[in-house]
Amino acid sequence: MPSTKKVVAMILAGGKGTRLESLTKKTAKPAVSFAAKYRIIDFPISNCANSGINTVGILMQYESTQLDAYIGNGKKWGLNGVHCLMSTLAPKQTEQGANWYRGTADAITQNIDFLDNANPDYVLILSGDHIYKTSYSEMINLHETSGADVTISVIEVDPKEASRFGIMVCDDKDQIVQFQEKPKNPVSNLASMGVYIFSWKVLRKYLKEDEVNPDSEHDFGKNIIPQMLADKRKLLAYRFKGYWRDVGTLASLHEANMDIALDKGELNLYDDASTQIYTEDVYSVPQYVGKRGSIKRSIANQGAIILGDVDSSVISTGVVIENDTKVTRCVVMEGVVIKRGAKIHNAIIAPNSVIEENSEINLGKDEVVLVNTVNK
């Protein structure tokens, strides 16, 4: 494993997440609940902690207050020690004025002072809204030993979905020779995971040049990566093996939760302490399943009271499911109450919603629906 002092991680956690609809109306996408116990951002931060990376910046923007409070001093992930630094970094006012982060690259540019103070050899840039378990050590070693200017973690995706991603073509040594950002006509299905390792001195140069370019969108995929490729810099692909999901839509968030509830074996939250996902330990009463209640092919967090029938679902903290209910293929977020006789299928139920007695929601439907009675 490389020296932890060589690597600083920067997690981009400022997106609005509009495709998650009302789930992100007052909540940053990385703070959205996942798998009953976790929040989405627990995954990249835990991956950093498990990789021995002890300096981490969280770049926030949209609805940052709740996310900032959740991250705190990094104690949840063991990043609050004497030799550790966890910092939340929001856009700030300078002599030139106040600016929102204009793009992914600009978010890093606005925090160059943070990186200069840390003085790393390498900067690991991550998205704050992806679900996966890993150690970055192997990827960092590949970057270091290959002499690459940037190494990009890649995964093969369904060709029908390829236009949603940065797509690349590699030679027989996995050196990147072509890159397309969210193309209408993808040249391959080898997709960027939004995980980059840059050599800091090289990246700093490109960020400063991009900062003053009036034609730039200040984005890694649209500007920095293509410019490095045009300059014939060494861009290397790291082929990720394992489970990875971008949970930016209701359908993908529901699917990823179902992957865990149905124990498909692709993402195991219980298997390996070296890649454990850490989160806030909620101090609530134990889970309770009543005499006439049942739960199968599901996961349920502490504080849930289940008196009805639950199948293939994810039940979060403080949920109450009353008698004579049927809940199937649902993601039930914290504080929800499902009243007597209700039947609900294939849904994401937003935090603190109340499903009224004898309601019937989405029965027999394949399309995922979002239920949010709090906003009514």
What's the pLDDT at 143? 97
What is the C-alpha R_g of the chain? 22
Question: Where is average pLDDT lowest: 76-85, 135-144, 204-213?
Answer: 76-85
Task: Give the distance from CA 10 to its chain's centroid.
Answer: 13
On the 0-12 / 13-18 / 19+ scale of CB atoms within 10 A, 365 is exposed
Distance from C-alpha of 364 to C-alpha of 345, rounded to nearest angstrom: 7
Domains and CATH numbers, the chain: 4-261 (3.90.550.10), 283-371 (2.160.10.10)
Residue 261 has pLDDT above 50, yes or no: yes
- Residues counted in the chain: 376
Mean pLDDT, residues 233-243: 95
On the 0-12 / 13-18 / 19+ scale of CB atoms within 10 A, 198 is buried
Whole-model pTM above 0.95?
no
pLDDT digits (tens, 9 = 90+) for 268-322: 888 777 788 999 876 677 888 988 889 999 999 988 999 999 999 999 999 999 9
What's the pLDDT at 340? 97
Q: Taking a C-beta distance cutoff of 8 angstroms, is the pair 272, 39 a contact?
A: no
Calculate the dihedral angle through the C-alpha atoms of 307, 313, 316, 321, rounding to the nearest 10 degrees: -20
